[in-house]
Amino acid sequence: MTADNQQERLNPHWITGFIDGEGCFMIQINKNHKMKTGYQILPEFRLVQHIRDRKLLEKIAKYFGFGVVRKNSSRVKTTLEWRVRGRRDLKNLCDHLTKYPLRTKKLLDFLKFRTVLKMMDNCPDITKIRNIKSTMNKGSQI
């Protein structure tokens, strides 16, 4: 067994475990007069790793068939991220995490994230989305 023995297909449970550890679900809300609601909603998923694991991030991107591996926007220059933004891609990621559920309380953030994605299928209520967003990634118990 070597460190580069990564030819074997990734196991879906492994992926969920890794996301339980390292994944992050985010919602950005930006003012945008071109949008009907006056706001642009940007849901995003990120999985950040040290640059030494670039190949693994690329393997995850290949497994799903979407998302980009890119430099992380933080000041730390030694990190990369697998980033997923497209709504169809995010829904596919949600399908994976519905089939292979998260086990940490990150599950709560995921459920909120999935709710927002569904709300975006219709003309979304910005206030409701803002409220949901305000409770995400806070380490809340409920």
Q: Which is nearer to its own copies, 65 or 139 (CB)?
A: 139
Minimum Å distance from CB 108 to its own copies? 5
Q: Are 14 and 56 in contact (CB under 8 A)?
A: no
Q: Which is nearer to its own copies, 60 or 84 (CB)?
A: 60
Minimum Å distance from CB 11 to its own copies? 4
Secondary structure (3-state) at 29? strand
Q: Are 64 and 91 in contact (CB under 8 A)?
A: no
DSSP E strand stretches across the chain: 23-31, 39-50, 68-71, 79-84
Minimum Å distance from CB 88 to its own copies? 22
Contact set with its own copies (CB under 8 A): 1, 3, 5-6, 10-22, 49-50, 52-53, 56, 59, 78, 98, 100-101, 103-105, 107-108, 111, 139-142
Q: Which is nearer to its own copies, 41 or 108 (CB)?
A: 108
Q: Which helix (H) or strand (E) holds 20?
A: helix 12-22
- DSSP letter for 33, please: T
Minimum Å distance from CB 5 to its own copies? 7
